[in-house]
């Protein structure tokens, strides 16, 4: 009950909506998430993700029958949107599930360790470790700037 109520109060980190808008104009962005589809859809709707991510680019394990840490969920997503693994970047907050499975699929990995979980060490080395929402915002904006410069 408390979890369900908390879902109604989640929001994007400050400044992230503008960054996601810019990112969505420069790149194909998506969501790969584990969990029950109704709860994940509720979270994504509360965050207004549909403004930034096409529904076809949202992969929820419950709907696909594939879940992280299986790297094939990343391979299937990249194939669907028409990109190569070495062109893909995954930002995830779970060191064990996100970093390992994305890295095994050949993606670049950015571990968003904003909870400063020092007890967990990824079994692979992430390409970036991000410690705060502001740092995440800066990194994503740098990707957009790099894309527009090339």
Predicted TM-score (pTM) of the model is 0.91
pLDDT in tens, 31-68: 999 999 999 999 999 999 999 999 999 999 999 999 99
Beta bridge partners of 60: 33
Q: Cα 130 vs. chain centroid, distance in angstroms?
A: 13
Question: Looking at residue 41, what is its pLDDT?
Answer: 96
State which H helix or E strand residue 101 sits in.
Answer: helix 100-104
């Amino acid at each position: 009950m408390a979890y369900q109520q908390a879902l109604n109060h989640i929001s994007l980190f400050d400044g992230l909506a503008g960054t996601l808008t810019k990112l969505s104009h420069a790149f194909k962005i998506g969501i790969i998430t584990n969990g029950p589809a109704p709860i994940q859809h509720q979270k994504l709707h509360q965050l207004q993700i549909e403004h930034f991510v096409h529904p076809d680019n949202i992969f929820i394990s419950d709907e696909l029958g594939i879940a992280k840490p299986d790297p094939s969920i990343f391979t299937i997503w990249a194939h669907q949107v028409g990109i190569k693994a070495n062109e893909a970047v995954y930002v995830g907050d779970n060191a064990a599930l996100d970093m390992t499975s994305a890295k095994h699929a050949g993606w670049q990995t950015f571990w968003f360790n904003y909870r400063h979980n020092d007890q967990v060490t990824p079994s692979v080395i992430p390409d970036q470790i991000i410690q705060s929402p502001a740092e995440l915002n800066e990194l994503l904006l740098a990707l957009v700037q790099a894309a527009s410069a090339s």
